[in-house]
Amino acid sequence: MKVQLGVFQEQEQIELSLEAKGIIPRNIMVAGPFPTRLQAFEWMDFIEKRTGQGKLMRHAVGLMNRHPWYGLIFELNPTAMVRKTMPGDLGLC
């Protein structure tokens, strides 16, 4: 399974962002809270090194306000990825 990372301030935002990308996460683990975005990104660096899988796909969504940040690590099931088509999209990639 492919592991991906993310940081967010509001859980609904990260869920919508992943859904818009056609990503369906599984085995989700949330870490935090982190007082700053920088600390959340440092957490992603730490986890990336600990997995030993090299560079991981990262996602970040936040309002850049004073609310705490949270980390997200999840497995990506390649068979569960669905590409959303937008109006006028010919489906070519």
Residue 24, pLDDT > 80, answer: yes
Exposed/middle/buried for residue 72 (C-beta within 10 Å: 0-12, 13-18, 19+): buried
Phi, psi for 60 (deg, rounded to 5): -140, 130
Give the domain ranges of the chain.
2-79
79 vs 27, more confident: 27
Cα(61)–Cα(68) distance, integer angstroms: 12
Position 91 scores a pLDDT of 43
More confident residue, 84 or 47: 47
**Other CB atoms closer than 10 Å to residue 14's CB: what's the count?**
21
- 57-87 confidence digits (pLDDT tens): 899 998 888 999 999 999 986 665 555 545 5
Please indicate, yes or no, whether the overall pTM of this predicted structure exceeds 0.95: no
Mean model confidence pLDDT for the chain: 84
What pLDDT is stored for residue 5 in this prediction?
A: 94
